[in-house]
Amino acid sequence: MSKPTLLLIDDEERILRSLRMLFFSGYKVHMTTDPQEAIRILREERVHVIVSDQRMPLMQGSELLSLAREASPATMRILLTGYSDLDASIASVNEGEVFRYLMKPWDAEEVKKVVAEAAAIAEASFAVQMHTDISVDTASARSRVLIMDHDESTARTVHETLGDRCEIIWASDAQHAMEELAKQDVSVVVSDLMLGETNVGYILKTIKQLNPQTQCIVVTSFNDTSRLIELINQAQITRFLPKPVSKNLLARNLESMLERFHAVRNQPALQNRQAVAPISDPKEKIQAGNFLGMLGRLRARMGA
């Protein structure tokens, strides 16, 4: 394989020069401070990975990445920013659909590793057509939707939107969610971040490790930027909708995430595009380990 192509965008040229040097040997590196130029490059050339700053005078990074998604869907998108603001991180999930949200100052080795991983995933997905026609038989296997939210309105919207096509499970606590997951994987998860007293972040992260095809929608009134960034990197949540969320918005996202699930299932090469980073929080790591262990035992018992 020839060298993968990397596109770097930042309004500070010194950042660009520094990053270029980091990828000097293994990549073909393009860099620019101009978002329009970046889009032009994406259209003209096959770019494996785009790494963008968030706060730039001409265009926000999340907006640029969302344009990049249209111009070159197979390109893996990474945000590299020194400014963690909630709106920016929400936009980077919902519009930018970023693979990783990285912070400045960055760890050189980590960034190298993430970009290398992204480049390999991009290479694999170039071979696959990204926009497959989703007239595939969605009925072949009934999709399952797992709700982890005590908010009744969320459950009602899910029922009204997908009730005729999917099996819908409304889990009241972590134990219940686990039992359902033990039976069979789910297609879409709609979850708040808190389920009663339980912080369900580790469950979302585990679900994604269990089955990368599952699409996660988070609906919550919790506004914690650093937790959101963790969920982007370690759970690859695909939508983050702040509560109160309008019925239409949730319904629209349910439809598109169900579609996404089928697309990924039909093209397994795509599922790595949502590969997760390892869980960083030590407590969550233990929780996730326990969850996986118990789930494994449950599944073994059911299979027996």
Partner 1 sequence: MQQATQTGKEIFSLINTIDAISPDCSLEDVAAFFTHPQYSKLLSLPVVEEGRPVGMISRYRFMDIYLKRYARELHGKRPIRKFINGKPLLVELDQPLAVAARHVLANMQFPLTEDFIVTQGGRYLGVGFVMDLLHAMEQQMRANTMELEQANSQLKSSQLALVQSEKMASLGQMVAGIAHEINTPLGYVQNNVAIGQELFQQVQSMIAGYEALVDDLLDEQATEAQIAAQMQQIAERRADVNVQEMLGEMQGLMEDSLYGIAQISELVLNLKNFSRMDAAATEAVNLNECIESALNIGRTVLKDRVEVIKELGDIPKISCAPSQLNQVFLNLFTNAAQAMEGLGKLHIKTWSSESAVHISVADNGKGIPEEILTRIFDPFFTTKPVGEGTGLGLAITHQIIQKHGGEIHVDSRVGEGTCFHIKLPVVTSILMHQPAASEAAT
Interface with partner 1 by CB under 8 A: which residues? Answer: 12, 14-15, 17-19, 21-22, 24-25, 55, 57, 80-83, 85, 103-106, 108-109
CA–CA dist 166, 143 (Å, integer): 5
Closest by CA to 66, choosing from 75, 57, 111, 220, is 75
Taking the C-alpha atoms of residue 163 and residue 160, their distance in angstroms, rounded to an integer, is 6
Q: Which is nearer to partner 1, 107 or 160 (CB)?
A: 107
Q: How far is the CB of 92 from partner 1 (least distance, A)?
A: 15
Residue 108 or 269 with smaller CB distance to partner 1: 108
> What is the smallest separation between the CB atom of 139 and partner 1, expressed in angstroms?
45
Cβ closest to partner 1, residue 118 vs residue 207: 118
Shortest Cβ 277–partner 1 spacing (Å): 19
Shortest distance, position 112 Cβ to partner 1, whole Å? 10
| Sign of CA pseudo-dihedral 202, 204, 209, 211 | positive
Burial class (CB in 10 A: 0-12, 13-18, 19+), 278: exposed
**Preceding omega of 105 cis (within 30 degrees of 0):** yes
| Cβ 20 to partner 1 shortest distance, Å | 8
**Strand locations in 153-234 (E):** 166-170, 188-191, 194-195, 198-199, 215-220
